[in-house]
Every structure is written in structure tokens, then in C-alpha cells.
Amino acid sequence: MKCVHCRKAKGKRYCPAYDGEICPKCCGEFRGIEINCPLDCEYYVEGQKNHQERIDKLRIQKEGIKTYVKRAELFNKNTEVFALVERYVATSFRSNRRIDNRDLQRGLEQVCKSIDTEIKGVFYEYDSENSYANEISYNIMAIVKESLKRYEAKGFTMEIALDIMNEYLSELLFYIDNEPGKQSYLIQIARSYPEDAEKPNTGQAGNDGESGLIIT
């Protein structure tokens, strides 16, 4: 039986998203990106677990345990903000598969500069000639401002927002230096925030059209 995704190779494992057999290559390459994997799929769960364990181990080896602990502490105190940013990045990447790690890097750098400037009392949002980076920066800044309204009572501040953005930037640069592929970090974020498992899977290829970045 042919693979339900590429229709070329032989399907060798059951894909619950398609309710059919899929080849290992398509499963590994497109899971959670073009394929709307349910969260109980054994290949999806194991793939994410193994990848994250490998990345965490490599980062600890290269940067030390303090980096891991710092991110864990920041995450535990600001889980809602992390979730908003990551869902946005995942949705953005699915909407426009032309975005790559460097676009996200430029966008995050602009966000960091804008937040740092605002902390100093100057309200100015930086932009660049990179339209994708500008959209990323604009929308993440909108998330930051909305988070200030929602979570200020919990102690969320612009200083904490800057720490979070710097941590994302640090993690992204680690991926750029250590993971092959121009979209490696974006793929990992998207796989960490899969689409609604109840949404019908059309089997369509990824959208290569114009940018459709939206806040979720």
C-alpha cells in the first residue's frame, strides 16, 4: 500500500491522522507540520520526547546546567506568556512556510530592542527591511502588551518580558548553531503546539503563499 501522504513510497506505519499507512520519511519530516497528528499517536509522542531529550542534553553539555535551570525557572513563573508566544510562532509558521530561523531571529532582536527602549522610558518599536521579521516583531510586541494587562497583578513586567525574549533568542541561536535546516527551531515549536486534533486533515501541502501571521 502506498504512503497516504506522498503517494509514492510504501506505507509502513499506521497514521491516525490519515487513518492509513504512511512511510517513515513522511512521518518523520511532516509530523505536526503538514500532518495534523493527534496527541495519542505513538510516533508523534516518541519523536517529540526523543528530540527534546537530545537537545536538552546537548545544550547542557555545551552551556552548562545553569542555562537549563534558568529557563525552567523563567518558564514556571510565566507559563501563560510562554504559551502565547509559542502558539503564535507555531501558527505563524504553518500560515507561511517561507519563514526561517533567521527571520525569527531578526524579529526577536527587534522585540528585545523595543522592550529595552521602553524600559528606559522611550516608546519606539524597531523595524527592518525584513517584512517577515517586522510582522513577527509587531505581533510579539502585541502579545507582550496584552500580557502586561492580563498578568501584571501576578508580577509580570517589561523586565521579565525582556528576559523571556532573550531566552527565546538564546535557544534559537543554539538551534541555528547545532541543528541542521533553516527552519529547525520553527519546526520544533510547531510540533510542540499541534493543531486541534479534532480538525479534519485535508492532506494538503504546506502553504507557501504570502505571510499570514496572526495572533492566537
Each domain of the chain, given as residue ranges in start order, spans: 64-192
CA distance 216 to 89: 9
The whole-number average pLDDT for the span 163-173 is 96
CA distance 79 to 164: 11
Please give the model's pTM, rounded to 2 decimal places. 0.80
CA distance 108 to 122: 19
Q: Buried (b) or exposed (e) across 114-125, using 16+ Cβ within 10 A?
A: bbbebeeeeeee
Q: Per-residue pLDDT tens for 171-209?
A: 999 999 998 889 999 999 998 887 753 343 434 333 333
- Sign (positive or negative) of CA dihedral 151, 86, 62, 161: negative
pLDDT of residue 67: 84
Specify the length of the chain in residues.
Answer: 216
Crossing angle of helices 131-151 and 79-95, in 10° steps, is: 150
Name the grid cell of 201.
486533515
Name the grid cell of 164.
523571556
Phi, psi of 22 (to 5 degrees): -125, 150
The whole-number average pLDDT for the span 148-173 is 95
Runs of H (alpha helix) within the chain:
24-30, 42-63, 65-77, 79-95, 101-119, 131-151, 158-178, 184-192
Residue 141, pLDDT > 80, answer yes
CA distance 46 to 52: 10
The residue among 19 and 216 whose pLDDT is bigger is 19
CA distance 118 to 124: 7
CA angle (6, 7, 11) in 5-degree steps: 90
Let me know: does 178 contact 171? Beta carbons within 8 Å: no
Q: Per-residue pLDDT tens for 39-68?
A: 889 999 898 889 889 998 999 999 999 888
Look at the block and give the residue holding cell 500532518: 35
pLDDT of residue 196: 53
